[in-house]
Each structure stands twice: as C-alpha cells, then as structure tokens.
Amino acid sequence: MLTTPEILKKVRELEIKSKRLTRHIFTGEYHSAFKGRGMSFREVREYAAGDDVRFIDWNVSARFGHPFSKLFEEERELSVILLVDISASSLFGTVNASKKDIIAEICAVLAFSAINNNDKIGAIFFTDKVEKYIPPKKGRQQALYIVREMLTATPKRKGTSLSEAIRFFNGSIKQKSIAFILSDFLDDKFDDALKVAGKKHDITGIKIYDKMDMQLPEAGLLEMQDAETGKMQWVDTNDFSVRKNYQERFFNATENCKTIFLKAGSDLLHIRTDEDYVKVLKKFFIGRSKPA
C-alpha cells in the first residue's frame, strides 16, 4: 500500500509524463481522432481565394457589393469516460509492470489528452460491480483526481463483470460520449451490453495482458492461484501439451473478444505489459483521424 507522499509523487510523475506525451506525441492526433458534435457558425469575413463558394453569404455580399464568406467552427465539447477494470487480475504482471500500472499510465495520458482539448473527463472503476463513478468534468484537477483514485483504488470485490460496467455507463451518460474500456477482458459475457452501448457511444477497448497470460514458462511443477476466484491448482509446466493448451485458451479468448468488439462496431487495442503503449495509442489515433 502506497503512503500519501508516495501517491502524490506518483501522481505528479504521471502528470509530467502524460503532459509531455500529449504535447510532443499526441498533438493534433487526439483532436482529429475524436470529432465534435458538429459545426456552428462563428462569423462572416470577406471572401478569400480557396473559400468554399457554398458558404458565401449572399445577403451580406449584396449589401457591401463584394463577396463575404460564412466561417464555421467545430462544436468540440466532448465527454470522455474511462471504464477501468480494478479486479484482482489487474494486479498481475511478470515482466515490466503490473496490468494496473500500465492501465494507470494510459488513463493519465487519455485524461490529460482530453483536458488539453477542453473536453470533459470522467471514470467508472469496476470489478463485478461498479465500485466508483466520477462524473465527467473539465480541468486539470479532475484529471489529477482520476489518476489519484486509480492509484489508490482498493476494490471491495475480486471478480469482473464488464456488462455491469457497460450498462451503468450507458444508463448514466445520456449524451453521446467517447469511452475507453481498460481491462484484461477475462470476462466474455458482455457482448449484448457492448452492442447496445456501441449504438449510442464511441467505444474503444484496450486489452492489457501480461506475457505469462499468453504462455507458461518451462519451470516444472507450479502451484497457481486464480486471482479472482482464489482457486488453487498444481500445473506441470514442463508438459508441452499443458503449455500448448494454456496458450490456445489465451488465443481463443482473444479472438472471442475481437469478435465481440467487431460485432458491436467498436475498436479494440492490445497492449502487453512489456510493450510501448505510446506507439500503440499513436498509431490508433492517426488511424482514426484518416478519412474512411
């Protein structure tokens, strides 16, 4: 358990890192990837070469005897909601960091990207029930609050229910919003909830996994525990068929997750705890900002 000074130090470190990434790596990409609600009229100015003739204001042009164009600007204000899995399996990590550590960093980057674009940011922390809801607001203090809550989250329960979190989000946020679901997706019963929410909101899943989620080391007989159920089991990791079956289960679960997001018309990213999440996010933002 982190002490208060350690928490404040970690929050400050994440703020500095996130702001640096937002300024130097995600500048423009986030804004372009997530569109506002439409265009609103700003002003009229004298026509300039290259202006779209469809936006000539003929009444003003007739009054002054030469052409004037209408200028529009994007109605930018968006709400970004982070749905954060804080179940027991998020504490797992064997290579670089735990899943929770990586999730916290990504949450910070997304939160500061949102406030840097004057968007609102909110969060839903969940296990097999919603443990905390932070309604969307603007500003640096809101982003810092979300990061601090992420770092200090002490879940009351161990399991995972993605459908519970998604239904809560869909019922609580009435206006179309941007949502990121950060989880290891060990739950596969959320397809209906995601399909319903995906019709109203722009949802992206970010699957965080550890190398050992995918493959077992050749390390002899190991006693393993399911972090969410507490069930203990002896596993012979020297047995090739055991390792093969373990890996196949991971790939089957991954494919199932991909199919669920595809059917819901939503995006899904995969980030391993020992990989550079910055590259994955940047590629995603750039891909989203390109015209279809």
Q: What is the CATH number of the domain that holds 215?
A: 3.40.50.410
Based on the fold, state whether residues 50 and 176 are members of the same structural domain. no
Q: What range does the domain containing 58 cover? A: 37-75
Same domain, 64 and 143: no
Note the pTM of the prediction, 2 decimals.
0.80
What are the φ/ψ torsions at residue 16 (nearest 5 degrees)?
-60, -50
Considering the domain architecture, whether residues 91 and 65 belong to the same structural domain is answered as no
Same domain, 125 and 55: no
Instruction: Give me the number of domains the chain comprises.
Output: 2
In this structure, the answer to whether residues 215 and 117 fall within a common structural domain is: yes
Nearest-angstrom CA–CA distance, 151 and 201 = 27
For position 26, what pLDDT does the model report?
62
* Tens place of pLDDT per residue across the chain (292 aa): 667 787 788 888 888 888 777 776 666 666 666 655 445 456 778 888 878 777 788 888 888 888 888 775 555 568 899 999 999 888 887 877 889 989 999 999 999 888 888 889 999 999 999 999 999 999 999 999 999 998 888 888 888 999 999 999 999 998 889 999 999 998 888 999 999 999 999 999 999 999 988 888 888 888 887 777 778 889 888 889 999 998 999 999 999 999 999 999 999 999 999 988 888 988 888 887 665 5
Same domain, 57 and 153: no
| Residue 251 tokens, joined | 């790939």
For residues 118 and 62, membership in a common domain is answered with: no
- Cβ neighbours around 33 below 10 Å, total: 20
Q: Which residue reads 């050749």 in tokens?
A: 218
| 56 and 147 share one domain | no
* 43 and 164 assigned to the same domain: no
Give the CA distances from residue 145 to residues 46, 91, 113, 123, in Å, rounded to whole numbers and listed in that order: 46, 21, 15, 10
Q: Are residues 65 and 150 in the same domain?
A: no
Among the listed residues 75, 70, 74, 150, the one whose alpha carbon sits nearest the alpha carbon of residue 110: 150
Which secondary-structure segment (H or E) carries 14? helix 4-24
Helices (H), 122-239: 140-152, 162-172, 191-200, 211-214
What was the pLDDT predicted at 35? 59
Q: Are residues 110 and 210 in the same domain?
A: yes
Q: Are residues 82 and 58 in the same domain?
A: no
